[in-house]
C-alpha cells in the first residue's frame, strides 16, 4: 500500500510540519497542541463538536488536502476509548437529573463511531464507513481493514486513522491503576526514570492509502502484523522474523527501528532484550516521550515514520543518542501493556 498523505494532531507541533524541537511538559500528562480549527471547519459546526471530534475531523481534512483526493473510497477509524468527554457529560446529566429529561445530543456524540460519522457528514461521503474498538489493536484493525478493501479492489483510496483523547476523569481513573509515574520532571526525561509507570498521552493521525503509487507518496506501507500475548521473548522474535521474511526483508535491510519504549521499566524490558539480540547494532528511535502512552499511539509512530521516509530526515528529538541517518526502510515495533503487539514495515517509494 502507498501512503499518499498523512496528518496528525499530537502533544507536539505536528499538524503542519515534522518535529524539530520537542514540546516539553512538566509532570506525567501530555495534551494535544490543537490548530486553528476555523481554517478547516465551518465555525458554526465547530460549536457543536467536542474536542475529540474537532481533532479527528481536522486531521482527516488536512490529510485529504495533502493529496489530490477529494472523496475517499472508505473512511475507517480506530479508537479504544471513543468520545470520553461526551460520555462523561451524558453520564453526569443522567445522574443529576435522575435519569429523566435527558437531551440526546451528548449520548449521540458519545458513541465510538462519532468521529468517522462527522468526517463523512462534512465530506458528504456515502462510501464505506467503519470504526474499530479493539483496545490496543484499534488502529491496527482499521489499517488492516483499509488494506483488505484496497487489495480486493473494492475502493481506490481509503482514509484510515487512529484517535484517543485524555480527559481529567480518565486521567484520574487510570492513575488509580498505577499506570502513570508519580515523580517525573518532564516528558524528555521519561527514559531516565527507571520505575513503574509511564506518562499519559493522546492524539490522532490519519492516512490516505492507495494500492497504486501517485508519484508523490510519503512512503510505501509494506505490511502490518499483530500478535496477542506472546509467552516469551522467543515468541516475539519469531513473530518479527516471520513478518520480515514474509516481505523478503532481513534485519540487515532495515535502516531504522522505532520502538514503543514508554518509560515503564517492566514493559520496556522487552525492547531492551531485543536491542541485545535481534535489533543489535541497528539505529533506534522512540516516540512515546513525544506523544505519551495511549492505546492508539502507533498512529503517531506511523505518522512519524512516514514523514521520516518522505523527507529522508530523522529528527534528533526521537533519538536517545545523537544519530545522523537517512532512513529508507523503517521497522516499527510496539506493544501495549505487553498484550497487544504490532509491527509495521515502511520503505521509500
Tens of pLDDT, residues 88-117: 888 888 888 888 877 777 777 778 899 999
Q: 17 exposed, middle or buried (CB, 10 Å; 0-12, 13-18, 19+)?
A: exposed
Q: How far apart are CA 145 and CA 132, in angstroms?
A: 9
Q: Which of 28-37, 147-156, 307-316 has the lowest mean pLDDT?
A: 307-316
Q: If you average pLDDT over residues 173-187, what whole number do you get? A: 93
pLDDT of 47 above 90 = no
Q: If you average pLDDT over residues 199-228, what whole number do you get? A: 96
Q: How far apart are CA 319 and CA 286, in angstroms?
A: 6
Strands 256-259 and 329-336: parallel
CA angle at residue 73 from 69 to 74, to 5 degrees? 120
Among the four given CATH numbers 3.65.10.10, 3.40.50.970, 3.40.47.10, 3.40.50.2020, the one describing domain 219-347: 3.40.47.10
CB-CB contact of 316 with 290 (8 Å): no
Domain ranges of the chain: 2-210, 219-347
Q: How far apart are CA 56 and CA 164, in angstroms?
A: 9
Instruction: Please count the other Cβ atoms lying within 10 Å of the Cβ belonging to residue 299.
Output: 32
Per-residue pLDDT at 318: 92
Residue 145: pLDDT band by 50, 70, 90 thresholds?
very high
Fold match flag (2-210 vs 219-347)? yes
Q: How far apart are CA 148 and CA 209, in angstroms?
A: 11
pLDDT of 75 above 80 = yes
Among the four given CATH numbers 3.40.47.10, 3.40.1710.10, 3.40.50.2000, 3.30.260.10, the one describing domain 2-210: 3.40.47.10
Q: How far apart are CA 333 and CA 230, in angstroms?
A: 14
In the sheet that holds 340-347, the strands lie side by side as: 128-132, 74-78, 157-164, 203-210, 2-9, 219-228, 340-347, 329-336, 256-259, 284-286
Q: What is the mean pLDDT of the chain?
A: 94
Q: Which of 96-100, 246-250, 290-294, 298-302 has the lowest mean pLDDT?
A: 96-100
DSSP per-residue string spanning 62-112: HHHHTSS-SS-SEEEEE-SS--HHHHHHHHHHHHHTTT-S--SHHHHTTST
CB-CB contact of 12 with 33 (8 Å): yes
Under DSSP, the state recorded for 251 is: G
Quote the percentage of the chain above a pLDDT of 70.
100
CB-CB contact of 294 with 203 (8 Å): yes
pLDDT of 19 above 90 = no
Per-residue pLDDT at 134: 94
Q: If you average pLDDT over residues 290-305, what whole number do you get? A: 97
Per-residue pLDDT at 107: 78
Q: If you average pLDDT over residues 28-56, what whole number do you get? A: 93
Residue 28: pLDDT band by 50, 70, 90 thresholds?
very high
Quote the percentage of the chain above a pLDDT of 90.
81
Q: How far apart are CA 165 and CA 52, in angstroms?
A: 6
Per-residue pLDDT at 17: 76
Amino acid at each position: 500500500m502507498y501512503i499518499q498523505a498523512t496528518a496528525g494532531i499530537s502533544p507536539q507541533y505536528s499538524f503542519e510540519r515534522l518535529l524539530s524541537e520537542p514540546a516539553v511538559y512538566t509532570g506525567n500528562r501530555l495534551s494535544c497542541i490543537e490548530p486553528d480549527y476555523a481554517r478547516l471547519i465551518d465555525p458554526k459546526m465547530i460549536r457543536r463538536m467536542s474536542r475529540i471530534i474537532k481533532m479527528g475531523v481536522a486531521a482527516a481534512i488536512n490529510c485529504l488536502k495533502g493529496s489530490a483526493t477529494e472523496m475517499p473510497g472508505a473512511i475507517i477509524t480506530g479508537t479504544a476509548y471513543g468520545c470520553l468527554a461526551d460520555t462523561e457529560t451524558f453520564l453526569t446529566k443522567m445522574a443529576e437529573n435522575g435519569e429523566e429529561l435527558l437531551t440526546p445530543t451528548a449520548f449521540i456524540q458519545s458513541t465510538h463511531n462519532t468521529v468517522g460519522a462527522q468526517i463523512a457528514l462534512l465530506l458528504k461521503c456515502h462510501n464505506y464507513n467503519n470504526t474499530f474498538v479493539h483496545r490496543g489493536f484499534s488502529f491496527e484493525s482499521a489499517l488492516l481493514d483499509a488494506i483488505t478493501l484496497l487489495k480486493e479492489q473494492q475502493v481506490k483510496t481509503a482514509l484510515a486513522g487512529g484517535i484517543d483523547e485524555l480527559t481529567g476523569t480518565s486521567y484520574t481513573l487510570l492513575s488509580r491503576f498505577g499506570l502513570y509515574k508519580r515523580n517525573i520532571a518532564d516528558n524528555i526525561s521519561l527514559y531516565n526514570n527507571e520505575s513503574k509507570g509511564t506518562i499519559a498521552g493522546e492524539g490522532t493521525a490519519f492516512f490516505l492509502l492507495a494500492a497504486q503509487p501517485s508519484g508523490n507518496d510519503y512512503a510505501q506501507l509494506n505490511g502490518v502484523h499483530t500478535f496477542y500475548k506472546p509467552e516469551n521473548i522467543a515468541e516475539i522474535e519469531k513473530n518479527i522474523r516471520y513478518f520480515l521474511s514474509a516481505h523478503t526483508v532481513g534485519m540487515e535491510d532495515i535502516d531504522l527501528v522505532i520502538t514503543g519504549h514508554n518509560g515503564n521499566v517492566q514493559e520496556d524490558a522487552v525492547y531492551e532484550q531485543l536491542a541485545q539480540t535481534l535489533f543489535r547494532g541497528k539505529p533506534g528511535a522512540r516516540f512515546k516521550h513525544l506523544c505519551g502512552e495511549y492505546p492508539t499511539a502507533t498512529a503517531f509512530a506511523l505518522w512519524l515514520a512516514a514523514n521520516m521516509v518522505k523527507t529522508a530526515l530523522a529528527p534528533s528529538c526521537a533519538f536517545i543518542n545523537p544519530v545522523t541517518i537517512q532512513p529508507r526502510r523503517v521497522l516499527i515495533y510496539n506493544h501495549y501493556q505487553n498484550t497487544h503487539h504490532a509491527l509495521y514495515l515502511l520503505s521509500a517509494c
